Structure 1
Amino acid sequence: MTALARVMFVQTVLVASPMASAALARPAGKTYTIVIDKMKFGAVSAGLGVGDTII
């Protein structure tokens, strides 16, 4: 392996590793609906967390 190929390989691993581990560490987000009635928000689900979507 040439020096340039080695450098490119190391850069690829360093860039891809954090993205792969972040994607594997968290489960997919869920979608929740919060009703707005008479200008007041309804109850928020207790299971709401980071990565979830509120509609």
Structure 2
Amino acid sequence: MFSLIETAKENGLDPYRYLVYVLKTAPGLDQSAHNWMASLLPENAPDDCSVPKIE
């Protein structure tokens, strides 16, 4: 869990939103597919997981 949180921070993601995304998405993935985890990587997270930029 700590690794996911720190990885989210390093990739400019809101840790809470990213964890919610991962925990909601993972159970529905076809684990027999070759790279099923690729969609859960931070670079593939939806835009709503990003930390809003303050200008």
Question: Considering the TM-score relative to the shorter chain, is it more than 0.5?
Answer: no
Higher RCO, 1 vs 2 (CA within 8 Å, ≥6 residues apart): 2
Larger % of strand: which? 1
TM-score (norm. length: structure 2): 0.31
TM-score (norm. length: structure 1): 0.31
User: Computing the radius of gyration over CA atoms, which structure comes out larger, 1 or 2?
Assistant: 1
